[in-house]
Structure 1
C-alpha cells in the first residue's frame, strides 16, 4: 500500500508542478480564482503534513510568493514521502481543523483526502484555464501513468 501512495504522491507533485509552471508563464492570463486555488492546493497539502508532523501550518487561503510555489510543492512532496517511509498508514493522528474542532484520522485517510482534494481543485483550475483561453492541462491520473 505504501508503494501505491508513493506513486500517487509523485502524480500529485508532477501535475502541481506543471500547473505552477503554467501559471508562472501565463500570470497575466490566469484568473485570480485560479491563482487562489493553486495556492490553496499547496497550502492544504502543507497543512496536512504539518498536522502529522506537529509543525507550524500555513493558512488555508494564504497567498504565497510566486517564486516560492515550486519550492512549496517540492517540500510538500518530500515531507509526505518521509511520512510514508517513517510512519504506519494506520497510525491515528489527533488534530484540530481550521475552526479549532478536534478530529482523529489515520495517515492513510489523510493522504487519500488531500490527494483527492488536490485533484478536485486541479479540475476547477482546468475549467478556469479554458475560460481564460488557455489550453487546460489534463491532470487525470491515467495520463500520468501513460508517460
Structure 2
C-alpha cells in the first residue's frame, strides 16, 4: 500500500499546486473559489492530525483564507502527508476520532486516506466549474493527466 499511497499523495499535492498556479495566473479573487480551496487544504491538515493522533491544527474547515495562506497551507499539507506516508508501514488500522462537530467515529486509516484524495478531487472539480462559469479557464487536474506528465507524454 505504501507505493500506492505515495503516488496518490504525490498526485494530490501536484493537483493542489496546479490549481494554485491557475488561480495566480488569472488573478482569481473569487471568495467561493478561495473558500473551496481552503476547505480542501484545511481538511487535509485536519485529517492528517487525526491520523497522527495530534491535536487539531489551527485551521477552520470552512474558513476564509488569503491566497498566500492557501499557498502555505497546501505546501504544508502536501509535504506532511508525503512525510507521513514515507515514514509509515501500516495504514491498515482502525482510528477512533471525533469529527469537527464532536461526533465520534471509527474508520480504517486506509479508507480515510483514499477518502481524502477523493474529497479533494471532488472540490477541485467544483473550483473548475466555478472558474468556467466566471469566464476563467480551469486547469486539468485529472490523475491520468498527472501520470502522462510524469511519463513525458504531456507538458506540465
- Write the mapping of 1:1-147 to structure 2, written as runs, cut at 5 A: 1-27=1-27, 29-53=28-52, 54-57=54-57, 58-87=59-88, 88-147=90-149
Contact 2:22-2:138 within 8 A present in 1 as well? no
**Length-normalised TM-score, structure 1:** 0.91
**Number of equivalent positions:** 146
CA distance in 1: counterparts of 2:48 and 2:93, whole angstroms = 14
Segments of 5+ residues of structure 1 without an aligned counterpart are none
What RMSD over aligned residues (CA atoms) do the two structures have, in Å?
1.5
Segments of 5+ residues of structure 2 without an aligned counterpart are 150-156
SS in 2 for 1:124: helix
**1:3-29 deviation per Cα after TM superposition (whole angstroms, max 9, x unaligned):** 1111111111111111112223334x4
CA distance in 2: counterparts of 1:76 and 1:31, whole angstroms = 22
CA distance in 2: counterparts of 1:6 and 1:26, whole angstroms = 30
Q: Cα 1:99–1:56, aligned 2, differ >3 Å: closer, same or farther?
A: closer
CA distance in 1: counterparts of 2:101 and 2:46, whole angstroms = 13
Q: Cα 1:30–1:127, aligned 2, differ >3 Å: closer, same or farther?
A: farther
Runs of at least 4 residues off by over 3 Å: none
What is the CA distance between 1:82 and its match in structure 2? 2.4
SS in 2 for 1:61: coil
